Amino acid sequence: QGYNLWLNYQKLTDPVSLKEYTGLLKSIHFDSNNSTQQVAAKELQNAFGILTGKDLPSNRSMESGSVVLLKESALKALQINQQVPDNADGFIIKQVTVQNKQIILISSQSDIGLLYGTFAFIKQLQLQKRLTGLNISESPKIQHRILNHWDNLNRTVERGYAGFSLWNWHTLPGYIDKRYIDYARANASVGINGTVLNNVNANSLILTHEWLLKVKALADAFRPYGIKVYLSARFTSPIEIGKLKTADPLNEDVAQWWKDKANEIYKLIPDFGGFLVKANSEGQPGPQDYGRTHTDGANVLARALAPHQGILMYRAFVYANEIPEDRAKQAYNEFTPLDGKFDKNVMVQVKNGAIDFQPREPFHPLFGALPKTPIMAELQLTQEYLGMSTNLAYLSPLFKECLDSDTYAKGKGSTVAKVIDGSLDGHNISGIAGVANIGNDINWCGHPFAQSNWYAFGKLAWNYSLSSEEIASEWIKMTFNTDASTLQAISQMMLQSRETIVNYMTPLGLHHIMSWSHHYGPGPWIKDKPRADWTSVYYHQADKNGIGFDRTSSGSNATAQYFPEVAKIFNDVNTCPEKYLLWFHHLPWSYKLKSGESLWDGIVKHYYLGVKEVEQMQNTWDSLASKVDGDIHLQVKQLLKVQHEEAILWRNSCVLYFQSISGLPLPKGLSKPE
Ligand code: GCW
């Protein structure tokens, strides 16, 4: 159950739509010599057959009722005068009359654009939208829309909660699992155009010839769907698989080794996307081991890729325990002096927040702070800190909270989205990455609702202006094929779900208070670990008098890393949004919240509210028993029960732990947790 994701074509129920579709659509006309157009046509034929029960045969010539896939370059010859977006991935879908024939025209500069247009057209049918007068024109705002798989070569997945890795390295390159194709279809249907196959904590083996042959097999399978393959490169690969004595980026042999390696890769995979690098972070090797900078490290790889038009994605997720500095400040401190020193094909990949994919974080101060460097945002789809695959968390609101944040880098309106789409600083490359939540579970993502995060990531990467409501609504419709009132109920659950998790895990700006190492469940008491920045007490700083991390000018002064307008707001306890309160401020338990209640009472109430909200989700879901597929209903019902238990555990643990420090009674009316 759930294998088909949002491409869950089912016979349409609305007679008006059925009548219109079967009346208007008779055949498909496309270039059968092109593999991308072939897969587009096949997808439409399959979808149309299931949705309407009728065939959509391919026709060599155009006829009335044809769905016509035509590249822009072919429009002129047929005297079709239509404006196609000036973006290789963009497309139009239009009902037009050509030579007295009424057709649905899908046109783009590229074959991939035709595939994207076809998927968008299928979506119209799935959503039972009218075709008469159809007139859609779309192009993506961000160029590289990439999934990052944290998949190890032994098929375990770091922070993966949906089974093992999809990539069956053992049977590659000879055997192409149908799943690879379905993975590519799903990605193409939402415009994802790149995939980093292996974990950023990389094994250098992936760059040996034997493994590259396997990578090539995947790249060949994905190519018709417009998905480029990228690899995470371990910085010390020249030593580990290249027999060199050093990986010093300024050493000539090392530079030559990377060039030779890139040449070898591009011989096998001419459209290879490039490398992703995690260096000098959490024990990974990097240029600093040789007294060099991140720019030296990034540029040596970038220069090997440049002749082949590859890109180098260099992660800014760096922090070190040895540095006596607020962890939240370290990436900014290390990277801002390097702005302007990276080669042109380097992109710096920045997590949405400065700590680590928490249920809620203020946006990373590096957004807007590297105007001379193209910045990618890195979002996490896999729920490392949001209850893994037992919690229902729809993450579009979290992603948008970051993308919509105003950095004020160039005055009001300098949103994170405008930093990463390149428009704020005039970059001609742009990208966004999502840490994948995909594994070999039958339903791909573990929790049935986790699929919505794969979907939402693709949609927002394409167009970050879409609302979380719109994305949820179409995902529900396509996934569950529900009626309007069921859709409404599920949508409400989804839209509330992330805030609910914040309530019972880390309300009011609390962060990083989960269990040690695996990060599952509460652990606000975690202390005495080898690294202070891997404990919880480091982050909540609770004592008899109060709680919170002082990042204001009287504390670590992390607020000063933001542009002045933002810094001022975060720095002043009276203007700091309460959702970030304890992220930036250390306050007495008696501090008065906007509601008039004390900070202590407010914290406790959030924990209780979170549990209540899970109960509400359970009630809503129970009421939908006859409305959604029985197996999926049962699955989600069980998971919600587990989530409820986890929410209670979080609430009780955190309330009792913090109470042992504050010594304060529970607010009136709340029963003591056991
Ligand atoms: O927060 C940490 C995760 C690690 C991960 C790291 C990173 C891949 O717990 O598992 O390593 O982030 O993003 O590099």
Nearest CA to ligand 1 atom 13: 317
Distance CA 469, CA 579 (A): 21
- 16 CA to middle of ligand 1, Å? 50
Tokens of residue 51, six digits: 């949705």
Going by pLDDT thresholds of 50, 70 and 90, the confidence category of residue 530 is confident
Q: What crossing angle do the helices spanning 111-126 and 468-480 adopt, rounded to 10°?
A: 70
Distance CA 638, CA 622 (A): 11
Q: What is the mean pLDDT of the chain?
A: 97
Distances (CA, A) of 484 to 16, 53, 395, 490: 16, 23, 22, 10
**Residue pair 283/318 in contact by the 8 Å Cβ criterion:** no
Q: Residue 575: how many CB atoms within 10 A of its CB?
A: 9
pLDDT-above-70 percentage for the chain: 100
Whether residue 674 is predicted with pLDDT greater than 80 in this model: the reply is no
Three-class secondary structure assignment of 165-184: CCCCCCCCCCCCCHHHHHHH
DSSP β-ladder status, 91-98 and 101-108: antiparallel
- 116 CA to middle of ligand 1, Å? 32
Going by pLDDT thresholds of 50, 70 and 90, the confidence category of residue 673 is confident
pTM: 0.98
- 285 CA to middle of ligand 1, Å? 15
- Atom from ligand 1 closest to the CA of residue 378: 13
Distance CA 588, CA 550 (A): 12
384 is catalytic: yes
Confirm or reject: Cβ of 319 under 6 Å from ligand 1: no
- What CATH number has the domain spanning 504-549+586-662? 3.90.1330.10
For residues 503-535, one letter each, b for 16 or more C-beta atoms within 10 angstroms of the residue's C-beta and e for the rest, the string is: bbbbbbbbbbbbeeeebbebbbbbeeeeeebeb
Going by pLDDT thresholds of 50, 70 and 90, the confidence category of residue 327 is very high
Distance CA 385, CA 11 (A): 38
Q: What crossing angle do the helices spanning 15-24 and 35-52 adopt, rounded to 10°?
A: 140
Tell me what pLDDT residue 324 has: 84
Q: Is 270 exposed, middle or buried (0-12, 13-18, 19+ CB in 10 A)?
A: exposed
pLDDT tens-digit readout, 538-565: 999 999 999 999 999 999 999 999 999 9
Active-site residue, from 296, 326, 361, 384? 384
Four-residue CA torsion sign, 20, 22, 26, 30: positive
Write down the domain spans for the chain.
15-138, 144-467, 504-549+586-662
- Atom from ligand 1 closest to the CA of residue 435: 13
Three-class secondary structure assignment of 185-207: HHHHHCCCCEEECCCCCCCHHHH
Whether residue 578 is predicted with pLDDT greater than 90 in this model: the reply is yes
pLDDT tens-digit readout, 403-416: 999 999 999 999 99
Whether residue 71 is predicted with pLDDT greater than 80 in this model: the reply is yes
**Residue pair 30/59 in contact by the 8 Å Cβ criterion:** no
Taking residues 425-446, report their average pLDDT.
98
**Residue pair 104/121 in contact by the 8 Å Cβ criterion:** yes
- Domain 15-138 belongs to what topology? Chitobiase; domain 2 (3.30.379)
356 is catalytic: yes
Taking residues 124-146, report their average pLDDT.
97
- Atom from ligand 1 closest to the CA of residue 519: 9
pLDDT-above-90 percentage for the chain: 97
- What CATH number has the domain spanning 144-467? 3.20.20.80
pLDDT tens-digit readout, 583-609: 999 999 999 999 999 999 999 999 999
Tell me what pLDDT residue 321 has: 78
Tell me which of 150, 159, 386 to substitute to probe ligand 1's pocket, judged by most ligand atoms within 8 Å of the beta carbon. 159
- 159 CA to middle of ligand 1, Å? 8
Going by pLDDT thresholds of 50, 70 and 90, the confidence category of residue 255 is very high
Nearest of 277, 288, 8, 267 to residue 126 by alpha carbon: 8
Whether residue 239 is predicted with pLDDT greater than 90 in this model: the reply is yes
Whether residue 466 is predicted with pLDDT greater than 80 in this model: the reply is yes
Distances (CA, A) of 496 to 383, 489, 613: 16, 11, 8
Confirm or reject: Cβ of 515 under 6 Å from ligand 1: no
Active-site residue, from 282, 425, 469, 572? 282
Nearest CA to ligand 1 atom 3: 159
Distance CA 467, CA 659 (A): 39
Active-site residue, from 43, 326, 356, 406? 356
Q: Is 589 exposed, middle or buried (0-12, 13-18, 19+ CB in 10 A)?
A: buried
Nearest of 590, 582, 597 to residue 540 by alpha carbon: 582
Strand partners, 380: 435
Three-class secondary structure assignment of 438-477: CCCCCCCCCCHHHHHHHHHHHHHHHCCCCCHHHHHHHHHH
> Does residue 404 sit in helix, strand or coil?
coil
Taking residues 9-21, report their average pLDDT.
97
Tokens of residue 463, six digits: 């167009």
Three-class secondary structure assignment of 598-650: EHHHHHHHHHHHHHHHHHHHHHHHHCCCCCCCHHHHHHHHHHHHHHHHHHHHH
Whether residue 378 is predicted with pLDDT greater than 90 in this model: the reply is yes
282 is catalytic: yes
- 377 CA to middle of ligand 1, Å? 15
